Amino acid sequence: EKGGYDYFMLKEIAEQPKAVADTLLGRIDASGALSLDEVRIPVAELREVDKVVIVACGTAFHAGLIAKYAIEHWTRIPCEVELASEFRYRDPILDARTLVIAISQSGETMDTLMALRHAREQGARVLAVCNTNGSTIPRESDAVLYTHAGPEVAVASTKAFLTQLVACYLVALYLGQVRGTKWGDEIQAVVRDLSRISCEVERVLETMEPVRELARSLASKNTVLFLGRHVGYPVALEGALKLKELAYMHAEGFAAGELKHGPIALIEEDLPVVVVVPSPRGRSVLHDKIVSNIQEIRARGARTIVIAEEGDETVVPYADHLIRIPATPTLLQPLVATVPLQVFACELATARGNEVDQPRNLAKSVTVE
Ligand code: F6R
């Protein structure tokens, strides 16, 4: 049932191109327009939405953090993302024009369920992004957009995460489409890129041997830091979470711009720091800033592990290890940048003799608050 792989996690990492393609299937028509009639929220209502609030836990929360960038950019609707476990305790401001998106692989996470119940009591519309047909969260939501990752068995979420991203991009692009923002042309272009992205994920998977080798060489380390900016920041958080849960290592993700406000004090000789570098095309300011961050940490002894787009030569002098990913539009980069981090964590866990599919103290679905 592991299809020849040693672990479900490895199988599920390998299934990501298909999971991504399946989640897109039937949702983009031949003309490149998005059709999400299946969510059954009337277009008139979507045009009225004046705030989006995303609630989720763990890895699904990281998908939500990335979704915020996409939603705000393509729709110009303000979007908040909140840990489901914190949400209802702060008495959030919600009404009929608020669209709440509850993201959950299992559809059974108790905190997410309680958050969506609270949102509905306040009159908000709830859209579930969920991987499990007929589970509690979609049943209790107003609408659902299913991710088509197939069953995810390993406790650490991989393919579900990528499909959550795809689903969130679809929602963001769809909202942009029905509301007609000034980004119409960009939306068209991104839809085209999105429909090709599963091949890019496949290409990343084909080049993972050096990442595994690197992971094995770091098996005796205690700490790994992750840095990113913009959508690379949640990717850094996700990379750190994977490492905590699988390798039981101290791992932290930071927004690279925060370095000088504290975390840079952690940098010491030979400390591995993974840096997610945004595309040098497009929003190049971000790129330049992160290149200086890499220089700063390297000058203080960090061992830099740089994830950068193919063809980006500016990072080469500052990368102790360079992991290449295909060029994508900035907002879609998490779909390719996360994959090496999953492989990295999985291989480190194996090298440290940990149980990959069933990390200690964790359960696949957290049905208590
Ligand atoms: C991490 C992981 C967890 C889940 C979280 C939410 O790899 O799997 O952080 O993402 O427990 O679970 P769902 O998506 O089922 O609500």
Mean pLDDT, the chain, integer: 95
Residue 105 confidence (pLDDT):
98
What is the number of the ligand 1 atom nearest to the C-alpha of 156?
7
Closest atom of ligand 1 to 364 CA is: 8
- The pLDDT value recorded for residue 253 is 98
ipTM, 2 decimals? 0.98
- Tell me, in angstroms, the distance from the centre of ligand 1 to residue 157's CA: 6
Q: Which atom of ligand 1 sits closest to the CA of residue 242? A: 7
Q: Stretch 67-87: mean pLDDT, rounded?
A: 96
Give, using CA atoms, the residue closest to atom 11 of ligand 1. 58
Please say if the pLDDT value at position 264 is more than 90.
yes
Spatial CB neighbours of 301, under 8 Å, sequence gap ≥ 6: 267, 268, 269, 270, 271
Q: Residue 32's pLDDT band (boundaries 50, 70, 90)?
A: confident
Is the pTM higher than 0.90? The answer reads yes
**SS3 call for 49:** coil
In percent, how much of the chain has pLDDT > 70? 100
Q: What is the pLDDT of residues 297-311, one digit of tens each?
A: 999 999 999 999 999
- Write out pLDDT tens, residues 215-247: 999 999 999 999 999 999 999 999 999 999 999
Residue linked to tokens 């907002």: 331
Give me ligand 1 centre to Cα 356, in Å. Answer: 15
Residue 142 has pLDDT above 70, yes or no: yes
pLDDT > 90: percent of the chain: 86
Distance 60 CA to ligand 1 centre (A): 6
332-357 residue pLDDT tens: 999 999 999 999 999 999 999 999 99
Ligand 1 centroid, distance to 145 Cα (angstroms): 17
Give pLDDT, residue 283. Answer: 67
Q: Whose CA is nearest to atom 10 of ligand 1?
A: 59
- The Å distance, Cα 2 to ligand 1 centre, comes to 21
Neighbouring C-alpha atoms within 13 Å toward the C-beta of 302 = 29
pLDDT, tens only, 99-127: 999 999 999 999 999 999 999 999 999 99
HEC states along 92-158? CCCCCCEEEEEEECCCCCHHHHHHHHHHHHCCCEEEEEECCCCCHHHHHCCEEEECCCCCCCCCCCC
- Annotate 218-248 with b (16+ C-beta within 10 A) or e (fewer): beebeebbbbbbbbbbbbbbbbbbbbbbbbe
Which atom of ligand 1 lies at the shortest distance from residue 59's CA? 10
Among 57, 116, 338, 357, name the best residue to mutate to test ligand 1's pocket (greatest count of ligand atoms within 8 A of Cβ). 57
Instruction: Give the model's pLDDT for residue 234.
Output: 98
Residue nearest to atom 3 of ligand 1 (CA): 58
Q: What's the 59 CA to ligand 1 centre distance in angstroms? A: 5
Pocket test of ligand 1: the residue of 161, 245, 354, 366 to mutate, having most ligand atoms within 8 Å of its CB, is: 366
Mean of pLDDT values over 144-173 = 97
Which two tokens mark 132? 């499990």
Catalytic residue IDs: 364
- Yes or no: say if 297 and 273 are a contact pair by the CB < 8 Å rule: yes
CB-defined site of ligand 1, < 6 Å: 57-60, 104-106, 109, 112, 156-157, 241, 245, 365-366
The phi and psi torsions of 209 (rounded to 5 degrees) equal -60, -45
Here the tokens at position 118 are: 């609270």
- Which band of pLDDT confidence, cut at 50, 70 and 90, is reported for residue 188? confident
Nearest ligand 1 atom to the CA of 164 is 14
pLDDT at 365 over 90: no
